[in-house]
């Protein structure tokens, strides 16, 4: 029996699996996880050229050259410095800084297309309409064919789409598994994309675009889904010589109820984590607001203490003057000094001040 220690650990290294687990990104989302499926595509069709739409960090691009491609066109209108550096290391990778679908007609037909750019009906439908007509011998792989973008458009920013190609959007809220409406605790673009407010209906979402494009191409294409990590789709023409063998080889993945169940569990847990994070941030903000309010109240209490001390002192002076006055009234000999008129004058000044303060409420 041969076990993979990275998968199982062993008696002397029982933490190997946990180590492997914590080295993964918290949310798997790159198509690089589909290495096994790409290997099957390359096994059943000779693939020399690849056109990858939507490249992001470029971590998938070199997989195609490792599997045998001699040229990969990496289409991304918004390349980062990291992407430029990654692609520059491999001369078989060529960055094309143009948006899809417009760019497709400018490049020669490829053997494999990987569509993972703008995840909305208008762009996907445009890409597929072009490819099903002009690249009938190609294999087309697609990402995000399942929740959340299967039946809801996402629009990368800045978008080139005209207003009528888009649904009503939200920038501040995103989808969650836990209810049907968007929420600020869901998959929110934070400025990099907006999402359609409503899911479903016509011309909305990646999967809806795939269904329509296939129907419009006389249903000549087969489409299967690997139900993991947001869903990988594979499209081949029904009469392609490699179609049956390729799709048969993919079947353990495409027919796996276990994979589908684990994906649903993953997105449910992840969006619960997003919600908990959101609530934790909101609680911390509340805490900060309370702390500020308490500090403000403390200053106010100190000011009132100061006022109270001053007024107590003035009251004390008044009491003493009053006592003096009483003594003078009882014993007129004392009245000669100090002058009773002066005392009364002082008394009325202090009393007037107190009355004014009381009127002003301070
Ligand atoms: C989900 S990421 C791609 C991830 C990458 N394929 C991976 O699996 O690692 C989507 C990328 O599509 C790019 N993009 C957005 N609109 C596009 C368009 N119209 N054409 C091509 N790429 C686009 C974005 O800049 C972003 O880098």
**33 inside domain:** yes
312 belongs to a structural domain: yes
Q: Whose CA is nearest to atom 27 of ligand 1?
A: 56
Dihedral of CA atoms 2, 6, 10, 13 in degrees, nearest 10, equals 150
Residue carrying structure tokens 């999402």: 195
- What is the residue range of 355's domain? 284-360
Q: Could you say which of 237, 255, 273 is where a domain stops?
A: 255
CB 54 near ligand 1, within 6 Å: yes
Domain check: are 289 and 250 in the same one? no
Per the structure, how many domains does the chain have? 2
CA dist., res. 307 & res. 335, Å (int): 34
Q: Ligand 1 pocket test: which of 35, 56, 80, 95 has the largest number of ligand atoms within 8 Å of its C-beta?
A: 56
Q: Is the same domain home to 350 and 245?
A: no
Same domain, 60 and 204: yes
Inside any domain, residue 74? yes
Please choose, from the candidates 223, 225, 232, 210, the residue with its C-alpha nearest in 3D space to the C-alpha of residue 257: 225
In terms of Cβ atoms closer than 10 Å to its own Cβ (0-12, 13-18, 19+), residue 181 is exposed
CATH number of the domain within which 149 lies:
3.40.50.150
Q: Which of 234, 255, 276 is the last residue of a domain?
A: 255
The reported pLDDT for the residue numbered 115 is 98
Does any domain span residue 196? Answer: yes
Inside any domain, residue 8: no
For the Cβ of 271 lying below 6 angstroms from any atom of ligand 1, the answer is no
Whole-number pLDDT of residue 347: 77
In a domain, 85, yes or no: yes
Would 10 be classed as within a structural domain?
no
User: Do both 184 and 232 map to the same domain?
Assistant: yes
pTM of the model: 0.84
Q: Same domain for 248 and 291?
A: no
CB of 120 shorter than 6 A to ligand 1? no
User: What is the Å distance from ligand 1's center to 289 Cα?
Assistant: 39
The residue out of 213, 239, 255 marking a domain boundary is: 255
Report which of 246, 262, 270 is spatially closest to residue 178, judged by C-alpha positions. Answer: 270
Q: Cα-atom radius of gyration of the chain, to the nearest Å?
A: 37
Task: Indicate whether residue 189 lines ligand 1 (CB < 6 A).
Answer: no
pLDDT, position 360: 79
Cα separation, 139 vs 137, whole angstroms: 7
- Report how far ligand 1's centroid is from the alpha carbon of 189 (Å): 14
pLDDT given at position 315: 95
Q: Are both 89 and 41 inside the same structural domain?
A: yes
Residues 292 and 251 in one domain: no
Q: Cβ(127) to ligand 1 under 6 A? A: no
What pLDDT, on a 0 to 100 scale, did the predictor assign at position 359? 78
Classify residue 121: in a domain, yes or no: yes
Pick from 356, 341, 340, 343: nearest CA to 317: 343
SS3 of the chain: helix, strand, coil, percent, to 5:
50, 15, 35
Match 């417009």 to its residue by tokens. 102
**Pair (41, 182) in one structural domain:** yes
If asked whether residues 225 and 289 sit together in one domain, one would say: no
Segment-wise mean pLDDT, segments of 10 residues, the chain, 362 residues: 91 95 95 98 98 96 98 97 95 98 97 98 98 98 98 96 96 98 97 98 98 97 98 98 98 98 98 97 94 94 95 95 92 70 76 79 60
> What is d(CA 226, CA 285) in angstroms, rounded to the nearest whole number?
41
Give the pLDDT score at 220: 97
> Are residues 144 and 290 located together in one domain of the fold?
no
Tell me, using a 6 A CB cutoff, whether residue 30 lines ligand 1.
yes
For residue 251, how far is its CA from the centre of ligand 1 (angstroms)? 27
Same domain, 319 and 240: no
Report CA(116)–ligand 1 centroid distance (Å): 6
Q: Do 199 and 295 sit in the same domain of this protein?
A: no
């Amino acid at each position: 029996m041969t076990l993979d220690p990275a998968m199982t650990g062993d008696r002397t290294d029982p933490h190997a699996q946990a180590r492997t687990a914590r080295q993964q990104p918290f949310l798997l989302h790159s198509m690089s996880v589909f290495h096994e499926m790409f290997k099957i595509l390359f096994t059943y069709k000779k693939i020399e050229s690849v056109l990858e739409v939507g490249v992001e960090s470029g971590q998938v691009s070199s997989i195609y050259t490792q599997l045998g491609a001699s040229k990969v066109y990496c289409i991304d209108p918004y390349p980062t410095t990291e992407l430029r550096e990654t692609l520059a290391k491999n001369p078989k990778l060529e960055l094309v800084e143009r948006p899809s679908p417009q760019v497709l007609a400018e490049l020669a037909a490829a053997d494999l297309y990987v569509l993972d750019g703008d995840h909305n009906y208008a762009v996907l439908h445009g890409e597929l309409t072009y490819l099903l007509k002009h690249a009938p011998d190609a294999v087309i792989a697609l990402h995000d064919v399942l929740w959340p973008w299967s039946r809801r458009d996402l629009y990368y920013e800045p978008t080139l789409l005209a207003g009528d190609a888009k649904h009503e959007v939200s920038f501040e809220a995103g989808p969650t598994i836990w209810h049907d409406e968007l929420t600020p605790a869901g998959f929110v673009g934070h400025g990099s994309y907006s999402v359609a407010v409503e899911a479903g209906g016509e011309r909305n979402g990646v999967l809806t675009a795939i269904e329509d494009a296939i129907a419009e191409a006389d249903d000549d294409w087969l489409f299967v889904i690997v139900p993991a990590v947001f869903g990988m789709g594979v499209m081949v023409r029904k009469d392609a010589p490699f179609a049956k063998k390729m799709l048969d080889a993919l079947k353990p993945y495409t027919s796996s109820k276990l994979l589908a169940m684990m994906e649903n569990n993953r997105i449910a847990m992840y969006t619960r984590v997003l919600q908990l994070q959101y609530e934790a941030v909101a609680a911390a903000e509340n805490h900060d607001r309370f702390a500020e309010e308490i500090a403000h109240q403390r200053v106010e209490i100190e000011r009132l203490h100061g006022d109270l001390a001053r007024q107590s002192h003035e009251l004390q002076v008044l009491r003493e003057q009053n006592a003096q006055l009483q003594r003078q009234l009882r014993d007129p000999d004392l009245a000669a000094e100090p002058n009773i008129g002066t005392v009364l004058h002082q008394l009325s000044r202090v009393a007037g001040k107190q009355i004014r303060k009381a009127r002003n409420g301070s």
